[in-house]
């Protein structure tokens, strides 16, 4: 059992993991330094403060990252298109039921909690395209493959542009550059 765990740990890309955690810590300290209040030095422990909320998201992101890292890729492969479809549905629903913030009707608000489906759609789109490419064992140089990959990226991007949330839509442009290999 220990040998299996040891062999699995060797497959991780330690450089990427180090970069992820370094950026996470540096980013959190940058936010902390701008929001630090001498009157309340432990504000980062209070979820009602901006730095407390940021701390909560950092802890949650570490949990999600480690969970995603340890879950077998076959799980993500099997759920890629259901997740993609669900997130596309949320992107359509937010156009009608979403709350407008800063001129973009891009948020669902549930009292003290709100979330932006466009952020989750980036994840769903990425795993859907990865699943598509791995399932058909295709090469990215095939024109049909590129066209379908672009369509998978454009569908959420166009829905996000309707909100209008240009910042999130720009991320899909970078996805297209990565997908086509053109910069």
Among the candidates 55, 70, 85, a domain finishes at: 70
Q: Which domain holds residue 37?
A: 1-70
Number of domains in the chain: 2
Residue 141 sits in the same domain as residue 159: yes
CA distances from 48 to 33, 52, 58, 109 (A): 17, 6, 15, 16
Confidence at residue 1, expressed as pLDDT on a 0 to 100 scale: 45
pTM: 0.67
Q: Let me know how long the chain is.
A: 183
Phi and psi at residue 54, to the nearest 5°? -65, -40
Find how far residue 147's CA is from the centre of its chain. 23
Residue 14 sits in the same domain as residue 97: no
Q: 154, 171 in Cβ contact below 8 A?
A: no
Confidence at residue 137, expressed as pLDDT on a 0 to 100 scale: 65
Residue 57 sits in the same domain as residue 81: no
SS3 category, 104:
strand
User: Environment class of residue 147 by beta-carbon count within 10 Å: exposed (0-12), middle (13-18) or buried (19+)?
Assistant: exposed
Across the beta sheet with 113-115, the strand order is 99-101, 104-110, 113-115
Residue 66 sits in the same domain as residue 113: no
Could you give the dihedral angle defined by the CA atoms of residues 78, 177, 182 and 69, in that order, rounded to the nearest 10 degrees? -50
Confidence at residue 2, expressed as pLDDT on a 0 to 100 scale: 47
Confidence at residue 49, expressed as pLDDT on a 0 to 100 scale: 72
For the chain, give the mean pLDDT. Answer: 78
Q: For the chain, where are the alpha helices, taking DSSP H only?
A: 2-9, 14-35, 50-70, 73-97, 117-135, 143-161, 166-180
Among the candidates 46, 70, 94, a domain finishes at: 70
Residues of the chain whose pLDDT is less than 50?
1-2, 4-9, 183
Residue 58 sits in the same domain as residue 78: no
Phi and psi at residue 137, to the nearest 5°? 50, 45
Residue 150 sits in the same domain as residue 88: yes
């Amino acid at each position: 059992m220990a040998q299996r765990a040891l062999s699995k740990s060797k497959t991780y890309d330690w450089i990427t993991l180090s970069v992820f955690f370094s950026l996470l810590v540096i980013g959190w300290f940058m936010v902390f330094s701008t929001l630090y209040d001498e009157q309340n030095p432990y504000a980062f422990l209070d979820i009602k403060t901006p730095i407390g909320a940021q701390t909560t998201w950092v802890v949650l992101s570490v949990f999600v990252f480690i969970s995603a890292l340890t879950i077998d890729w076959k799980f993500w492969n099997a759920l890629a298109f259901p997740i993609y479809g669900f997130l596309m549905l949320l992107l359509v629903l937010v156009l009608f039921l979403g709350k407008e913030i800063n001129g973009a009707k891009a948020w669902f608000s549930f009292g003290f909690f709100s979330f932006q489906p466009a952020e989750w759609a980036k994840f769903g789109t990425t795993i859907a395209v990865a699943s598509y490419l791995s399932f058909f064992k295709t090469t990215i140089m095939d024109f049909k493959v590129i066209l379908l990959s672009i369509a998978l990226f454009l569908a959420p991007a166009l829905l996000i542009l309707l909100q209008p949330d240009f910042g999130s839509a720009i991320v899909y442009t970078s996805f297209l550059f990565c997908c086509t290999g053109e910069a």
